Amino acid sequence: MGWLRPFMIKSPAMKQQTVPSQPSQQLPEDVRSPFIRRAGTILAFSYPVLAISTGFRAVYQLFLREDIVNPTGPWLSAVAAFCYLTATIGFAYRRRWAWWLSVLVLGFESLMTLIVGTLSIVNPDLIGSTVWRWFGIDYGFFPLIQPLLGLAWLLHRETLQSYGIRLGSAAQNRETSTG
């Protein structure tokens, strides 16, 4: 608002109101090793790439291809793209709510990859062409492997401590000695 200051009309009736600030939620200490931190960074960059490619695939199949008879596959790809973008939040932001959101989304994504992958083998006409078809064969099986890697990273001991999900050994010792 500083750039608007020359255009503001000042009158004695106008008083500057202050909004009480809320206490900032303090993040737990980041105890992740460099390897675990880099793995999270790789996941935070690779998931949006997968989301963009899957999203473009869904848009292309839904709106530009006229030979698509069954829209189930493109819509499943759109759901997958949304899952990939949502899961990125937990890799990029070290907050407890982001961790829970990503764990839930990655669990859903893993389940859908297994269900849709199995159905695409049993009844290919039912599913059509989607990112989860044959467990992600069109994407080098990344839709099958990547959520499992993401869950492994999110459930790693150091990540749990850094997100405040599980107390570290020093914090647990303090709690047991004071309690």
Residue 173 clears pLDDT 50, i.e. is over it? no
- Nearest Cα neighbor of 29 from 178, 164, 177 is 164
User: Does any domain span residue 72?
Assistant: yes
Residue 97: enclosing H or E segment and its boundaries?
helix 96-122
Question: Could you read off the pLDDT of 76-119 as tens digits, one per residue?
Answer: 999 999 999 999 998 888 899 999 999 999 999 999 999 999 99
* Percent over 90 (pLDDT), the chain: 51
User: Does any domain span residue 27?
Assistant: no
User: Does any domain span residue 50?
Assistant: yes
Query: Among all chains, which residue has been given the structure tokens 């001991």?
Result: 157
The number of domains in the chain is: 1
User: Does any domain span residue 179?
Assistant: no
User: Does any domain span residue 178?
Assistant: no
The token pair at 71 is 């829209």
pLDDT of residue 7: 42
Question: Could you read off the pLDDT of 42-84 as tens digits, one per residue?
Answer: 999 999 999 999 999 999 999 998 888 888 989 999 999 999 9
User: Does any domain span residue 126?
Assistant: yes
